[in-house]
Amino acid sequence: MATQTVEFAAAPGQTITARLFAAGSDTVVQTASGVAEATNRDGVYSATFTDAAAGLYKIIATNAGGTLLAQWWVDLTLTTATFQAYEMPISVMQSGLSTFDAAADAVTVGTNGDKTGYSLAVTPPTAAAVADAVWDEATSGHTTDGTYGGRIVRSTNSNVTVQITGSNHIAADVHEFQADVLTSAATDATFVSEVQSGLATSAALAEAKTEIDKIPRQGSTHKHRQISSDGATKSAVVTIEASP
C-alpha cells in the first residue's frame, strides 16, 4: 500500500477537506483521509491519500462550510512519499526545459582552464600508432638501472634473430669470442681433455719420432744381406745417396 502525503499552503487554523481531481476532470478521484496543519509552519497542511494512481492531479482544499481555501497542482507516483503542491505542475514546468543526457549530449566549453592530458586540435592516436611509437622508441633513452628498459637484453645492431629451443635455451651460431673468455675458470673440467683428444699428445709424438728415426737418411750406411735362390747369403755395405 502506498501512502501519499501532499503538502500544500492555505490560511492557517482551518479545518480542511482536501480532494484530488485528475487534470481536466470534474470527478473526485479521492478525498484525503486526514488533513493536519504543521506544528511550527503555520498555514502548511499535509493531506493523506492512499494508492492514488501515478499522474498529475489538482488538489482542492475547502473548509467545513465548503468555502474554497486553496487549489494547487501535484504530481504523484504510486509510492509512499511526501509530495509538494505547486501553482504549476512540475511536469508542465519541466516540459518547457531542455534535458541533458550525459551519455549522449555534447557540451560546448567556453574556456577550459585545465587542459592537462587534453588534445583539442590533434586526433588521438590509434592503438596501432601507440604500439608503433613504443616499439620504435630509441633504446638509448631507456637505460635507467632497475627499470624494465634498463634490464631488458638488447642487441647492439639489427642482427637480433635467435632461436628459443624446446628446452628454453637460446640457440645461436657463435661468430666470435671476446678475448680471454675460454679460461679454465670459464670452461668445464673436461674441456681441455676433450680438445686434446683430437690432437697429437706428447706420447704420440715420441712414438712417431721413434718410427721416423728408423727410416734411412741420406749419407747413412747400412749393412745389407742378400739371400740367393740356392740359399747362399752375401753381405754388403750400402750408403744412402741422394737421387740424381
- Return the SS3 of 91: helix
| Tens digit of pLDDT at every position of the chain (244 positions) | 999 999 999 999 999 999 999 988 999 999 999 999 999 999 999 999 999 999 999 999 999 899 999 999 999 999 999 999 998 877 777 766 667 777 888 888 788 777 777 766 778 889 999 999 888 888 888 888 888 888 787 776 776 667 777 787 887 777 788 888 878 788 887 877 777 776 777 777 788 788 777 776 666 666 667 676 676 776 666 666 666 5
Query: pLDDT value at position 71?
Result: 94
Cα 89–Cα 93–Cα 95 angle in degrees, nearest 5: 115
The Cα 154–Cα 74 span in angstroms is 75
**In terms of Cα–Cα distance, which of 32, 44, 28 is closest to 3?**
32
Query: pLDDT value at position 154?
Result: 72
- Return the SS3 of 44: strand
Cα 103–Cα 104–Cα 105 angle in degrees, nearest 5: 110
Query: pLDDT value at position 20?
Result: 97
> Would you kindly state where each structural domain of the chain is located, as residue ranges?
3-95
Grid cell digits, residue 92: 508542465
Query: pLDDT value at position 85?
Result: 93
Q: Is the dihedral of CA 46, 52, 55, 61 positive or negative?
A: negative
The Cα 156–Cα 159 span in angstroms is 8
**b/e map 96-131, b = 16+ CB within 10 Å:** eeeeeeeeeeeeeeeeeeeeeeeeeeeeeeeeeeee
Q: Model-level pTM?
A: 0.41
Query: pLDDT value at position 198?
Result: 67
Tell me how far CA of residue 141 lies from CA of 129, 160, 224, in angstroms. 19, 19, 87
- Name residue 70's beta-bridge partners: 61
CATH number, domain 3-95, options 1.10.720, 2.60.40, 1.10.3470, 1.10.10: 2.60.40
